[in-house]
Amino acid sequence: LRGEVGVLRQRAGSNDASALQSGGGLAKLMNDPSMKEYMLKAMRDKMKSMYAELIKELNLTPEQTDQFLQVLTEAASKNLAHLTATAQRTPNPPDDRESQEEAGRQLQALLGDAGCARFKDFSQEMPARGTLTLLNDQLGAARLSAEQSASLIQIIKAEPSELTEGILGVPDRAFLGSQADIDSFLQQVAQSNQRILQQAASRLDPEQLAALDSVLTKGIEARKLQGAAFFQKR
Q: What is the pLDDT of residue 182?
A: 87
Q: Which amino acid is at 81?
A: A
Neighbouring C-beta atoms of residue 149, cutoff 10 Å = 17
Backbone angles phi, psi at 89, to 5 degrees: 55, 40
The predicted pLDDT at position 6 comes to 45
pLDDT of residue 15: 41
Q: What pLDDT, on the 0 to 100 scale, is given for residue 167?
A: 84
Q: What is the pLDDT of residue 215?
A: 94
Reduce the secondary structure of 62-81 to three states and give it as a string: HHHHHHHHHHHHHHHHHHHH
Taking only the tens place, the pLDDT of each residue in 15-69 is 443 433 434 455 565 566 777 788 788 889 988 988 999 999 999 999 999 999 9
Question: How many Cα atoms within 13 Å fall on the side-chain side of residue 200?
Answer: 33
The single-letter DSSP state of residue 24 is: T
Record the pTM. Answer: 0.70
